[in-house]
Every structure is written in structure tokens, then in C-alpha cells.
Chain A
Amino acid sequence: MALLRIEDLNIDYMTLRGRLRAVKNASLTLGEGEWLSIVGESGSGKSTLAMAIPGLLLPPGRITSGRIIFQGRDLTGMSGDELRRIRGSEIGVVFQDPLTSLDPLRTIGDQMVEAIMEHRAAGSKREALEMASAALESVGIPGNRVKYYPHQLSGGQRQRVMIAMAVMLKPRLLIADEPTTALDVIVQASIMRLLKSLQRKMGMSIILITHDIALAAEVSDRIAVMYAAEIVEEGPAEQVIEEPLHPYTEALIKSTPDLWREKTLYSIPGNPPDLRNPPSGCRFHPRCHKAFEPCKSREPRPTRIRDRMVACHLYG
């Protein structure tokens, strides 16, 4: 059974210069224990889509239509209180910069205990503190570091603390929004290994948001590629990487510098479009080397090919 089903989701930002559709007709399914990575460039809508799931859209962002079914319940109709209860206990969230989500003036133990007590997951503060230190151990940080302040930890350790906080109440889903973008490569690799082992041990599902398709390729069960507010391709990671269907996915892979492939200076021509004034037809057509007549005038519809989805006129 699916843990999460997103159906025809549309998200708008109301700006002074008019309405901007940040996510357009997005549909996705995530199974229990599955790792889905949503890949795309800045402004593709990947973070907006992911943040909408646990109700963390920042105004002026607003879901205008569609449903987000999590464990059988529609999250889009829920109140702020209900969503707060679900966040942390059933859905954990990790952001790019741990410093912005940790209070510099309080120990990390204090902040973890508060979150545990808020969800009434422990009977006493002492029990909560024990839970917090066990959670730190589970991410490779000695349990006695509950007494530390955030500045006493390195960037990589702080991100581990954020992960500990996100998973300590054993959520079914972890959403990680560019969790390693601010970190060095060696630390990045260790954080990715940690997430992978937590996914396996806890049987938890993960949604990773990243602009780096190589990072996604190494850890994901499935990959969704977003371009200009739309999901243009989705499928099993191996197939998306080895035989991309959408020309954008193909170009994205080709343009990513990689130590284990032949050296190339290929880059995708042009720039991502302005979402206030997106191109007609297929939004990728001005940059697509395979574009033909219908691409300019008609929007491609999502096509299912076995276990995969692609939105491109090449596939009917």
C-alpha cells in the first residue's frame, strides 16, 4: 500500500507582479520504506512540492487544488494543529541549514526534550532526555552531547542532530530538503550513508530534494525530475538514470560533472524559464534538441510506460 499519494497538486504564489504557479498538476506515489528523490534546478518547484506535504508552505504559497493522501488521510484539509501533531511524530523534516532550525541559546538536549514532550511521547522529562540521548547515539553522536550547544558542534554534527530530531519519534516519512548542500563532500557522503541506514533500519520512507542527480542516483529507489513547476519524468532510479525518457532528464545527466565518466563540457543551452510567463506548449521546448511541431503549441500529457511516467510528445 502507498504511504503517500499526491494527486494533481497545484501550488500558487501570489506575488505583487501576479500569480505564479510553483507546482503544476503534480502526482506522485511513495511506497512504504521507499526512497524517492525529487531532482531539479533552483526554481523548479521541488522544495515547494516537498514542503507542502507536511504543511510547511510559506506564505504567499498556497495549495489551490489537489490532494495529499498520507496514510489514508488528506493532509490538505487539515488544520494547523493537526499538521503540527503529524510533523515530528509521523513526518520528520530536515532542512539545508541546521543553524536556522536550532536555537543557539539552548542545549540540543533541551530542544529535543521539548519536541518529545510536545508530542507527549515520554512520561517525564527524564525519560525524554534518555530518548534524546538514544536518538543522538542512533545518528553516531555520543549521547552525552545532549548537554552541548549548537555552536559546540561542527556543521556535519549539527546536521546529524537535525536528523536525530527528525527521526526520534520514529516517523513513517522523512523529508530532507538539500540536507548536504552546505556541507563538504566527505561529510556529505557520511550523511547520505546515515540516511540510507536509517531508512533500512526503521523501514522509513524518504523524500530527498536535491539539485544533484548523481547524489540521487546513488541512494534512491525512485527519482522524479521536475522542470519549471512540473514533474516531467518519474520512475525507478536505475531506469531513469540509465535510460532517461525525457530529453530534459537526459540533458541534466549529461551536464552533471562526474569523475567516473568521460570528461565533457556539455551544458544545457539557455536558461530555465520565468514562471510568471512560461513558454507555450512543453515548457522545455525552447531548450530541447528533440523538439518538433506539437511541442510549441500543445502541452504534453503525462504518459505511463510500465512503471514509469514521462510528460513528453515523443511518447504520445
Chain B
Amino acid sequence: MAILEVEDLKKHFTQGDLIDRLLGRVRIVKAVDGVSFKLNRGETLALVGESGSGKTTTGKLILRLLEPTSGRIVFDGIDITRMREGELRRLRPRMQMIYQDPYASLNPRMEVGKAIAEPLVVHGRASWSEARREALEMLERVGLTPARDFYRRKPIQLSGGQRQRVVIARAMILKPDLLVADEPVSMIDVSMRTSILKLLLDFKREYNMSMIMITHDLAVARLVADRTAVMYLGKIVEIGPTEDILHNPGHPYTEALIAAAPTIVRGARKPSLRIRGEIADPSRIPSGCRFHPRCPYSDGSKCVKEEPQLAGASRMVACHYPLTR
């Protein structure tokens, strides 16, 4: 049973001030440009891509933290695409998001214990004294012990990894059905990443929670995600079971991401593919296949003119000449 269905989701921003508008110089930034996928209960989907791929915007749209331009978002059978804030408020506790920067997502003046307890009170789930007790348990759960000591600390007294644990505790205290985690470990030392990811996986199992893991790092996707969607310039270019995609990428961009991942394994059989340049400006999306200017396999005609569509069954690839079939 799907907890989330996303259909042809788009978010176009207009760029330019009044004068640009009068002069007709407005540019349309197609941050998300037709994204569709389903997420099952208890499943984790990774959205992987570089900056500018639209993965973070997709995450925010799903939780209605941004207004979609078009498309449909169905959460647990309820169409929330155009739902008003008042109604959304009742659903909010069931959909939580955690962000990349634990420094920015905590109030610097608030004791971290109180920050964890607060959502329970705000959503009318508990009194302050009950919330405090639950927050203490939560601190214990996320490994910030002695909990009583950590409860009183301010964010500045914690390391980056400890702050991210607080942010996770704050999101998890509501036992959400869906968590969107936006690069939760990218600002944390490599050596501490696994412990944070493990914590998320433990909560996921316990609450039968579904998770969307937004990351630029395939190694992170591999550790947590059942399925992976690779995004490029606002579109999903490949989606399927994570291990399958990693062993046998179908899209040249996926292959390039794999080739760029560092490894300690000497003589690892990395794909040798190297791609040119950097991701395009989303206000000037290339014609045809949007990856063609960087793609070493581009045929220079069909790839330039015709946009490939996602095709396949459990494994879908949007490429005229997929590496697998």
C-alpha cells in the first residue's frame, strides 16, 4: 500500500523583478519538471543527484512546504496537492523533514531537550511535563546520555553529529509516517555518517515509517534505500532497486555518479566514464535529452531533438540508448 504517490509534479519559479517582467526578460527556472513515483509503507527511496537536480525542491513539494506548479501529491490516500494550510496542519505531524544543516535547524537559544519536547506540545499531543519525560527518553534513544545533562544544553555546546541527533529526535518524537531527510549527513564527518544513518533506520523499522533520503552520495543511498531515483535537471532519469542500479546502471549519468564515488578499494572495477562540464542552469534546460551536452554517448541527433521518457518496469531508465536492457 502506497503512503505517497507523486504524479507529474512540477515546480517552476519565475526569476526577475518588475522591470524584467515589463521588458519580457523573465526567466522560468524549471526546478522540478515532471516527477512521478510511488513510495510504499515502510519503504525508503533515495533521491540522488547533484546540486541543481531538483531533489531538495521535490522533497519540499512533497511535504507542501512549497506550492507545486502542477501535478498531484497523494499522501496516505489523501490528495494534498491543493490542500489549505489549516487542513494540512492536522497532517503535518505525520510528515516530517530533517535538513542538511543541523546548526540552522535548531533555535540557538532553546535548550535542546525543550526543542525535542516542543512539537508534542505544539500539536496538542502532550502537556509540557509529559513532553519533557518523552524528550528525556528520546535523548537516551539517540545516544545523547546522560539525558538529563543533555536536556539542558544549548545547540552551541554540541558537536555537529550531536546536533543532528537532536534534530532527528525532534522529528521522531511525533512518530511520523513519512520522513523526508535532506542530506542529513553531508555536513557530518564521513566516520560519523553511518551511526546517524543507522539511527534513522532503527526508527524507520520501529515505526514502520517510510523515508525519502535526499543525497548526492550514492554510498549513503546504498546504506539506507530500498529503491533509488537518480535526478538530473528536474527529472528522474533512472529509478529502481538500489543494488540493481549500482551494479548495473542504465543511464550514463548514473554511471558517471558511480565512477566519481571515491573508494579505498585498490583496483576497484570502477566504470571509466568521465563526463564533461557541470550541470546546466535550470532556466536553460537543453533540448532533447537534458543530459546530452555532457553525455559521451550522445548521438548528436536523436538525443539533441527528442526527450527520452522513463521506460521499463521495476527498473526505469530515461535514455535513448540505455546501458542495460
- Chain A positions near chain B (C-beta within 8 angstroms): 41-43, 154-157, 184-190, 211-215, 217-218, 238, 241-242, 251-253, 255-261, 263-268, 271-272
Q: Say if the beta carbon of B261 comes within 8 Å of chain A.
A: yes
Instruction: Assess whether A267 is in contact with B257, with CB atoms less than 8 Å apart.
Output: no
Whether A217 contacts B264 in the complex (CB less than 8 A), given A185-B257, A257-B219, A259-B246, comes out as yes
Total contacting residues, chain B, CB less than 8 A: 42
Closest approach, in angstroms, between the C-beta of B121 and any C-beta of chain A?
30
For A215, the chain B residues whose CB sits under 8 A away are: 262
Instruction: Assess whether A212 is in contact with B278, with CB atoms less than 8 Å apart.
Output: no
Q: Say if the beta carbon of B43 comes within 8 Å of chain A.
A: no
For A41, the chain B residues whose CB sits under 8 A away are: 189, 191-192
For A266, the chain B residues whose CB sits under 8 A away are: 194
Instruction: Assess whether B263 is in contact with A218, with CB atoms less than 8 Å apart.
Output: yes
Instruction: Assess whether A185 is in contact with B193, with CB atoms less than 8 Å apart.
Output: no
With most chain B CB atoms within 10 A of its CB, the pick from A41, A251, A259 is A259
Closest approach, in angstroms, between the C-beta of B222 and any C-beta of chain A?
6
Using an 8 Å CB-CB cutoff, how does the interface string of B203-220 with A read, 1 for contact, 0 for none? Answer: 000000000000011111
Q: Say if the beta carbon of B270 comes within 8 Å of chain A.
A: yes
Identify 5 residue pairs between A and B in the complex whose beta-carbon atoms are under 8 Å apart, listed by A's number: A238-B266, A241-B264, A255-B193, A257-B219, A267-B191
Instruction: Assess whether B266 is in contact with A241, with CB atoms less than 8 Å apart.
Output: yes
With most chain B CB atoms within 10 A of its CB, the pick from A253, A260, A272 is A260
Provide the bound-state CA to CA distance between A187 and B50, in Å. 9
Q: Say if the beta carbon of B91 comes within 8 Å of chain A.
A: no
Q: Say if the beta carbon of B198 comes within 8 Å of chain A.
A: yes
Interface residues of B in 121-175 (CB under 8 A from A): 159-162
Provide the bound-state CA to CA distance between A213 and B260, in Å. 15
Provide the bound-state CA to CA distance between A108 and B194, in Å. 40
Provide the bound-state CA to CA distance between A95 and B258, in Å. 26
Provide the bound-state CA to CA distance between A217 and B262, in Å. 8
Instruction: Assess whether B159 is in contact with A42, with CB atoms less than 8 Å apart.
Output: yes
Whether A185 contacts B216 in the complex (CB less than 8 A), given A217-B263, A271-B162, comes out as yes
Q: Say if the beta carbon of B190 comes within 8 Å of chain A.
A: yes
A256-B264, A271-B162 given. 20 additional CB < 8 A pairs? A42-B160, A184-B51, A185-B257, A186-B278, A188-B262, A189-B260, A214-B264, A215-B262, A217-B263, A217-B264, A257-B190, A257-B194, A257-B220, A257-B223, A260-B268, A260-B270, A263-B223, A267-B195, A267-B198, A272-B159
Provide the bound-state CA to CA distance between A217 and B267, in Å. 11
Q: Which 8 A-B pairs have the closest CB atoms?
A: A267-B195, A257-B219, A189-B260, A214-B262, A260-B268, A184-B50, A267-B194, A260-B265
Whether A42 contacts B189 in the complex (CB less than 8 A), given A255-B194, A258-B263, A265-B198, comes out as yes
Contact of A257 among B222, B246, B274 (CB under 8 A): B222
Provide the bound-state CA to CA distance between A28 and B265, in Å. 26
Instruction: Assess whether B259 is in contact with A189, with CB atoms less than 8 Å apart.
Output: yes
Instruction: Assess whether A218 is in contact with B195, with CB atoms less than 8 Å apart.
Output: no
Provide the bound-state CA to CA distance between A155 and B217, in Å. 18
Instruction: Assess whether B194 is in contact with A242, with CB atoms less than 8 Å apart.
Output: no
Q: Say if the beta carbon of B28 comes within 8 Å of chain A.
A: no
Provide the bound-state CA to CA distance between A272 and B191, in Å. 11
Q: Say if the beta carbon of B304 comes within 8 Å of chain A.
A: no
Provide the bound-state CA to CA distance between A217 and B264, in Å. 5
Instruction: Assess whether A253 is in contact with B264, with CB atoms less than 8 Å apart.
Output: yes
Closest approach, in angstroms, between the C-beta of B163 and any C-beta of chain A?
12
For A186, the chain B residues whose CB sits under 8 A away are: 50, 256-257, 260, 275, 278
Provide the bound-state CA to CA distance between A238 and B264, in Å. 9
Provide the bound-state CA to CA distance between A36 and B51, in Å. 30
Instruction: Assess whether B261 is in contact with A185, with CB atoms less than 8 Å apart.
Output: yes
Closest approach, in angstroms, between the C-beta of A75 and any C-beta of chain B?
29
Provide the bound-state CA to CA distance between A255 and B192, in Å. 8
For B256, the chain A residues whose CB sits under 8 A away are: 186
Instruction: Assess whether A263 is in contact with B222, with CB atoms less than 8 Å apart.
Output: yes
For A184, the chain B residues whose CB sits under 8 A away are: 50-51, 216, 279
Q: Which residue of B lies closest to A258 (CB)?
A: B263
For B192, the chain A residues whose CB sits under 8 A away are: 41, 267-268
